[in-house]
Amino acid sequence: MVTVGDGFDGYRGAVPYAMAPPVFDNRTRDACVVVPGIMGSVLQDTATGIRLWGVDLSMLTNPLTGKGSLSSLHATAEEQAADADTARHRPLTRIRATALLSTPWWLPVFEGLDPYTSLTGALQQVTLAPQAVAPFPYDWRLAVSYNGALLAHAARAHLRRWREQVAGRTDWRAAGVQLPRLVFAAHSMGGLVVRAALEQDPELAADTRAVITIGTPFLGSAKAVIALNVLQAEARPAWLVRHVHRMAVTLPGVHDLLPGYRCLDRGLDVDRLTPAEVARFGGNEHLAARSLAEFARYREHTFTMPSHRAIVGEAQDTVQTLEEEVRFGRPVAAGRHYAFDIGEDREVLRDPRTGIPARRNTFGDGTVHEPSAKIGTEAVTYVFGQHGTLTCHDEVLRQVRRTALEREKNAYLPGDDGARPGLTTPHLGGLIGQPVPLQVTGLDTPAGASLSVHSATTGRPGPPLELRYGPDNPNGTLSARFIPDAADLYRVVLDTGGHVPITQLLLVSPPDA
């Protein structure tokens, strides 16, 4: 008699195949792949072995080390031109991605990013063995199409290895159980990479049971334009913003996040960005043209991912629209916290009396506005959370586990009490000794809510913060002032008692010499 249960946690006893198929205890037989977002992979110089990204926070706080690393990350002409065909036939080797981010990180404009250990661990809790979950670190500097081709190859290899490993212990066909398939859990730009992989490889799509995207900007993010045109005169610390800007302008990956929707407010009209406008705002015209052409292609030929579930951050102040301004003698794209609705005829909806485009705040996760994160699927879960910290959000992790287990979602979501808490921190960080304004939105009263700050690196608590109304809050928002006494990466935590706490990371730097 052949039995099961020899080595995989989760089999319940030894069951004869002739009697019943295997029974699993809160486990899935499928293989899972974790795909991080932009900035979410550790990058290393292949020739020297020097780690350029995602390991030592001194590269963000010390110009002596930071300038060299950021300069090394500039994309070369060959890297800028790399596409899916390049990945399949002659992959680039100058810089390689070695692991998923395992420490909190931060960049001006893009703001905080939590590590992917919680997301990976959540899937390992519900798979037959830890090796069923494969991380996919990738060079996020490069084009989505290039990384999509690499992911297609890596995911297929992972599924093949996992099926062989499972088959070594179990004859699945004899047991009458379907072969393991793939479940993708992708954060931010990672969802775009998954979509590119599945579109490029239809057989891989057929082997995919579910795709979970977390804050993925399917329509792009207006923040990408701000990252390309941020003014040094407004920056702190200026050296970091200057060098991040110089790096971002060369990167296909940043340009692949440009907003492909109508986002440029001209008063009586709303237009899509053109490559020339992106260049005028500080970007690369050629890279912008390639990215915006991809958005146009998806508008005409929608690609639907298998069993796509979108997790969408809501209630956070999010830049959704851009308006051109002139500052210090140069054009900049200023962010606005509203968007425009599009009708079934693909035209902007207007006020019937005045003909002026109707503006509406759709909120989002602080980086990606709601419509961008949920397009392409009706299976949407909303959570109160900031973009870069969603992968550690308890409700997000619960939804990921339940999707991996193919269970129905609960009809009730925690904190469904009418309040819509949001957290806003300065997207350019703070300076030692200078007040850092922290804002809380969506709450009628500070009663029951607390705002705290502690070091994300050492756990050292910051000073107590008092939430209050004040003259700086004309719209009725709550605020607190945090005066940091040391350069560090801090975690800001908003706890309302009725929802999963909302967190954001904040870099505090010494004043520029």
Give the whole-angstrom CA distance, residue 355 versus residue 405: 49
Indicate if the pLDDT at residue 352 is higher than 80: yes
Question: How would residue 497 be classed by pLDDT, with cut points 50, 70 and 90?
Answer: confident
Quote the pLDDT of residue 470. 60
Indicate if the pLDDT at residue 175 is higher than 60: no
Quote the pLDDT of residue 472. 54
Tokens of 192: 């775009």
Q: Which of 319, 349, 350, 318 is nearest to 332 (CA)?
A: 319
Chain segment 284-342, per-residue pLDDT in tens: 999 999 999 999 999 888 889 999 999 999 999 999 999 999 887 888 899 999 999 88
- Give the DSSP letter of residue 391: G
Quote the pLDDT of residue 16. 34
Question: Bigger pLDDT: 491 or 4?
Answer: 491
Percent of the residues in the chain that have a pLDDT greater than 70, as a whole number: 88
Contact call for residues 367 and 191 (beta carbons, < 8 A): no
Residue 137 in 3-state DSSP? coil
Give the whole-angstrom CA distance, residue 360 versus residue 342: 11
Phi, psi of 237 (to 5 degrees): -75, 145
- Burial, 174: exposed, middle or buried (Cβ in 10 Å; 0-12, 13-18, 19+)? exposed
Chain segment 480-492, per-residue pLDDT in tens: 999 999 999 999 9
Q: What is the mean pLDDT of residues 108-114?
A: 92
Domain ranges in the chain are 422-509
Chain segment 426-458, per-residue pLDDT in tens: 888 889 999 999 999 888 778 888 999 999 989
Tell me which amino acid residue 324 is.
E
Vertex 110, ends 362 and 235: CA angle to 5°? 110
Q: What is the mean pLDDT of residues 365-392?
A: 95
Tokens of 121: 């661990």
Give the whole-angstrom CA distance, residue 289 versus residue 359: 27
Vertex 311, ends 308 and 317: CA angle to 5°? 140
- Count CA atoms closer than 13 A to 117's CA, side-chain side: 6
Chain segment 451-465, per-residue pLDDT in tens: 999 999 899 998 889
Tokens of 360: 């509406």
Domain 422-509: give its CATH code.
2.60.40.10
Residue 370 in 3-state DSSP? helix
